[in-house]
Amino acid sequence: MDEHDPRRRIPRTDALLRLPRVAAAAQALSDGVVRTIVRGVQERARAGELAPEDVEAAVITAVEGRRTSSLRPVINATGVIIHTNLGRAPLSPAARTALADAAGYVDVELDMGSGQRSRRGAAARAALLAACPAAEDALIVNNGAAALVLATTAFAAGREVLISRGEFVEIGAGFRLSDLIESTGARLREVGTTNRTRCEDYAAAMGEATGCILKVHPSNFRVSGFTAEATLPELARLAGARAVPLIADLGSGLLSADPALPAEPDLDSALRSGADLVIASGDKLLGGPQAGLLLGRADLIARLSRHPLARAVRADKLALAALEATLNGPEAPVARALHTDPEALRARTEAFAEDLRARLSAQPHPRQGPGPDSAALAVVPHDGRTGGGGGAEVPLPGWALRLPEAAARALRTGEPAVLPRVHDGTCLIDLRCVPDETQPALLTAVAVALTATGAP
């Protein structure tokens, strides 16, 4: 390398690691991560993308800005309560505390009195059974798909699962329940048609090869018009007469009937209507962590618990702790957002808009002199949604603050990150899912985004 080559001025690795701010920030990172950051900045300088004199500052910025996890907290301003892309249900304060407590050593499978091994997750199961009295027993696994796979494997591997053609559901990311079921070695036996399936269609398909009857709630779509479906009581009589299990996959995890979602089936009612086993997710309407819930007859749950696959799909201590705390603690954020009073939401949104106008009028716009035109900030009607495959097409009346569409990207990439709803050329801020304590941070984020983009 020529002695005048500017690359000779690139600081050495050991010198960069000794910089006080780098050393301080490195306390929260592994040595490997810090060295990778340093080498990356040095490579940029060697490639001519960065002046050697700027290497120290670039390393400091990169190390101080690096988080141990790439997942960023996001303020959900979409009005969609169970937002799959944001991790579905936000946990309650009680569940978050339980997670922190369970992060260390806990008595997840130990009776502290006797010193003997105990049944895993017994307290979480007890809390689940208390919330769903119609169930004789329960089993908790790591997600809803795992619950379905376990059930169909245990009851129908090498046999047939009877399912209506109208209930062939595709869930997120292109996964189809039919593919999941067939992966267990069970054979699907389609009955009825897409829009009309009667109990006699199931009866005609039943035979020696029938392992179970599966009824799936099509939670993320609606079929209307010339339709018919077999009810759980009808199928329960048929299944009982033929001594095969009737499984109801309800998906959304509503424990008991809720007036806010009158068409949404709930676990307790499904069991009382004759289902032998119900399946649901814990991180949807229940408002808990990712988990698969199986509730129903004690003999069926015992059979599932003994199956070898149960070990592969069991819930970890963190999920068990968070689920128990969700069930035993105060109302979860999902329930609060679902039952938000529209007029209370309107008053809150109007107050937020007034605070935003005051914030904007007090600061000059760096590009155009005066601040954004605060008169353009309007509170408009906006229907929220349940999301997560629950309450399909059921509007949740509410209100939102309308901003220019240009603010959306700045909000998503800002700090804190905010996800608004972009609709009809506007950016909407819906406070339905925003906790009161998060609102000041949201106000600052919106003001910064509007000022930075020169909008409206």
pLDDT the model gives residue 180: 85
pLDDT in tens, 33-62: 999 999 999 999 999 999 999 999 999 999
CA distance to 151, 199, 203, 204, 308, per residue, from 207 (Å)? 19, 15, 9, 8, 27
pLDDT in tens, 424-446: 999 999 999 999 999 999 999 99
| Percent of the chain predicted with pLDDT > 90 | 81
pLDDT in tens, 381-394: 999 999 987 887 78
Confidence band, pLDDT 50/70/90 cuts, at residue 454: confident
Instruction: Specify the range with the lowest mean pLDDT, choosing from 136-150, 249-263, 355-369.
Output: 355-369
User: CA 276 to CA 286: how far, in whole Å?
Assistant: 21
User: CA 173 to CA 152: how far, in whole Å?
Assistant: 22
The sign of the dihedral angle between the CA atoms of 355, 357, 361, 367 is positive
pLDDT the model gives residue 5: 76
pLDDT the model gives residue 282: 96
pLDDT the model gives residue 359: 93
Question: Within 10 A of 262 (CB to CB), how many other CB atoms are there?
Answer: 9
The sign of the dihedral angle between the CA atoms of 220, 258, 318, 154 is negative
User: CA 386 to CA 339: how far, in whole Å?
Assistant: 11
DSSP 142: S
Confidence band, pLDDT 50/70/90 cuts, at residue 365: low
Q: Which two tokens stand for residue 346?
A: 């309107």
Question: Could you tell me where the beta strands, DSSP code E, fall in 284-328?
Answer: 292-296
Q: Which two tokens stand for residue 155?
A: 């009851």
User: CA 248 to CA 217: how far, in whole Å?
Assistant: 8
pLDDT the model gives residue 246: 98
User: CA 177 to CA 228: how far, in whole Å?
Assistant: 21
The yes-or-no verdict on residue 131 having pLDDT over 70 is: yes
Where residue 20 falls (left for φ over 0; alpha for ψ -120 to 50; beta otherwise) is alpha
Query: Do 84 and 390 touch, CB atoms closer than 8 A?
Result: no
Nearest to 186 by CA among 203, 205, 162: 162
Query: Do 281 and 128 touch, CB atoms closer than 8 A?
Result: no
pLDDT the model gives residue 456: 55
pLDDT in tens, 179-203: 888 888 999 999 998 889 899 999 9
Q: At CA 255, angle to CA 253 and CA 260, rounded to 5? A: 90
pLDDT (average), residues 396-419: 96
